[in-house]
Amino acid sequence: MEHIFTIAALWLGLAVISAVIAYHLRVSIALVEICVGVFTAAVAGHFGAFDTLGSDSEWLRFLASSGAILLTFLAGAELEPEVLQKKLKEVTAVGLVGFLAPFLGCAAIARYVLGWSTQASLLCGVALSTTSMAVVYAVMLETGLNKTDFGKGILGACFINDLGTVIALGLLFAPFTLKTFVFVGVTAFILAILPLVSRWLTRIYANRTAAIRTKWVMLVLFGLGALALWSGSEAVLPAYLIGMVLAEFSNGDAQWIRRLRTLTVGFLTPFYFLRAGTFVSLPALISAPLVFLLLLGGKVVSKIFGLYPVVGQFRHKRDERWYYTLMMSTGLTFGTIAALYGLSHKIVTQSQYSFLVAVVIASAVVPTVIAGMAFLPKHLLPKPVPSEVRAPRESGPGAEG
């Protein structure tokens, strides 16, 4: 137990350092945490102490996965059904092109330029076709754009993009089985009754039993997450759907959603982003930088050439178009999942996997930094709330969550 607390203190120390750096550089803390993870892993590896970081510890993997699940849920909870219906054409068009352009472009580069096998090339296309819901939502949260129609449109397009990635991974490499149909059926049933049951629990037990809403939501998230993993899918996929279904329920109590967000961003997601950074092997990248640059360029360029004209149909100001396009060019969660799936099933080699993960993580950093520094649509940022009309401070430890 002492060893676990020591490692946890180390990682939370890195999280604090990341927060300080992010504050002074004025960039997203999620991106800083990834970079700090890369640097820490490089230093630890240089001294032969990489294993002491505990990146593959079961408990740390659980905390990181929990952070990704809850962050994805919160992202889904930002998407009110009315906004999605109003932006259905936009999010569908941008999301589908955001998936297809890099999938075809990166698969072609891997097959015909790098000489990878057909299966490895297709896996490359799938892994690099993603966008990063976790990174995009973290950035939207920090800027306040998550409360605007512009930010909600980006999040909706990210969902369509990643949904295409998940479907492609399943159709190409993991044929549907009976477990898949069980997962889909149970998920559909739970989603259908979830708003009604959640409102009933809140009406009967809220403000009487401590944090029952938080416990209930996390029960559903982890339960369907376990079912997703059992069926061969990924735990974060139902989390986004749960967030969307409970959007009206969640936004009905700003204090509750704020406390849940504090738990997620303040404690869980640093483990997720720092851990993602520790898996980047700098020696592997240094040994063949052209492969890395070619794949990274293929992902970002294909995204930009595919998305910029489509985004231009819905956003006419230059900074809005570029910001939208660059945020859609990110990648992290599903890209890493797809790459790990390929390695586990011997579709890609260890070196190919290293390049894919490095490109996925770099694509979470490079486009987002450029977007935030050069194209942030400041005219869309929410106006700061005057101190005299801000919401009252949260109640004490016994407050219902």
**301-339 pLDDT, tens digit each:** 999 999 999 999 999 999 999 999 999 998 877 787 788
Q: What is the pLDDT of residue 216?
A: 92
Q: How many domains does the chain have?
A: 1
* Range name among 128-132, 261-265, 282-286, 345-349 with the lowest pLDDT average: 282-286
Q: How far apart are CA 34 and CA 273, in angstroms?
A: 5
Of 75, 54, 51, 68, give the one whose Cα is nearest residue 9: 54
Quote the CA–CA distance of 27 and 397 in Å, as a whole number.
32
Give pLDDT, residue 392. 44
220 neighbors 231 (Cβ within 8 angstroms): no
Write down the residue that tokens 């998550």 correspond to: 146
Residue 327 domain-assigned? yes
CA angle 202, 206, 212 (to 5 degrees): 85
Q: Write down the pLDDT at residue 206.
A: 73
Torsion sign (Cα): 24, 27, 33, 36 = negative
DSSP one-letter code for 267: I
- Residue 401 forms part of a structural domain: no
Average pLDDT over residues 89-116: 95
CA distance 343 to 362: 19
Q: What confidence tens digit (pLDDT) does each residue in 125-178 have?
A: 999 998 887 788 888 888 899 888 899 899 889 888 988 887 888 788 866 788
pLDDT computed for residue 45 by the predictor: 86
Task: Write the CB contacts of 246 (distance below 8 Å, at least 6 apart in sequence).
Answer: 76, 77, 194, 195, 198, 217
- Please compute the mean of the pLDDT values over residues 22-35 and round it to a whole number: 81
276 within some domain: yes
Overall average pLDDT of the 196-201 stretch: 91
Are the C-beta atoms of 367 and 297 separated by less than 8 Å?
A: no
**Within a domain: 217:** yes
Provide the CATH number for the domain around residue 237. Answer: 1.20.1530.20
In a domain, residue 156? The reply is yes
Average pLDDT, the chain: 86
* Cα-Cα end-to-end distance for the chain: 29
Q: How many CB atoms lie within 10 A of CB 364?
A: 32
The pLDDT of residue 387 is above 60 = no
pLDDT digits (tens, 9 = 90+) for 275-288: 888 877 777 778 88
